[in-house]
Homo-oligomer: A and B are copies of this chain.
Amino acid sequence: MKSERNARKTVSRAPTLEDVARAAGLSPMTVSRALNTPNIVRPATVAKVMEAVKVTGYIPNLLAGSLASRRSKLIAVVVPQINNNMFVDTVQSLSDELAVRGYHLLLCVAGYSHESETDIVSTLLSRRPDGIVLTGIHHNTELKKAIINTGLPVVEIWDLTPTPIDMLVGFSHEKIGNAIGEYLLNKGHRRFGFIWTDDKRAMLRKKGVLDVLNRQGDCQWQDALVPLPATMALGRSGLGALLKSGQTFDAIICSSDTLAQGAIFEAQTHQLRVPQDIAVMGFGDLDFAACNIPAITTVNIDRWKIGKDAATLLADKIEGVPVEEGIVDIGFTLMERESA
């Protein structure tokens, strides 16, 4: 029974448009249209195609489609270490919003170094994304040139600058620093401790704080630098280090809520009441900040909105929808609670 019909190679490739077309008695092009733009195809034809798709188990090949159409429906996203609680929510909302528009996320975790960002982006570029999301506004010039050369829509997030590569959704870290500084000065604090990671954005916030403190004049401060990623343990050891210096502090300013929570616990072990003996201030307004005991005074950023706005800007620009304002300052809110 060695039938001639089975002579063709039986290495069952995945079914293609042509297979579907054959099954439906149509041309591949019609099948393509029935799948992508059903409204310009006769309903009866569409039905035939759908049936054939089901029968063959056809799954479109977007590699081929993207190559031919020059649109990949792919968005490259570069974040510095995703295991930072802040970025995760942004990526999540970015993913959600983009999915609705039919885009997929090509995710890249760049670490906080610039070299790797370059490598990563050029690798990403080779996937021919339709748009790019970059965290931060400090990229090395070579990279920046490469991206600009592609002419691709870009959204930079989590930072503010009047001169983004293209579009931007962020907020001013310096202003947040200012707000923190003013808030604590108003509360009468003059001796400050910083528990701080040394990434660029955190340092900008610190500069914002110091500008205000310097203007005041009679302030003093001391640093406890901690490595990334910021953990509660680092918050504890950070405050421990500050206290061991022999200095006394009115207020501890932390570059994240996680550090702040650690500092608050550590204060307990030194019989320091928060905020009566020592105030502790965080940043980020993470889930736990509001219901910690004491509730953590911090700065709220709408990190979901960053993702959502970035997605909308990007998708709109890709699809030719006129974008009114390419620079979005989503602002921030100082959340006065109990810890400071």
Contact = CB atoms under 8 A, between A and B. Distances in A.
Interface of A: 14, 57, 59-64, 66-67, 72, 81-83, 85, 88-89, 91-92, 95-96, 99, 104-109, 120, 122-128, 146, 149-150, 231-233, 236, 258, 261-262, 265, 268-269, 287-288, 290-293
Contact of A290 (B59, B85, B233, B258): B233
Contacts of A265: 291-293
Which of A66, A127, A231, A261 neighbours the largest number of chain B CB atoms within 10 Å of its CB? A127
A63 B66 contact: yes
A304 B61 CA distance: 32
Given A107-B105, A293-B269, A128 B61 contact: yes
Contacts of A85: 85
| Number of copies of this protein chain within its complex | 2
A269 B292 CA distance: 11
Nearest to A116: B99
Given A59-B146, A83-B88, A232 B288 contact: yes
Contacts of A236: 291
Contact of A92 (B109, B120, B231): B109
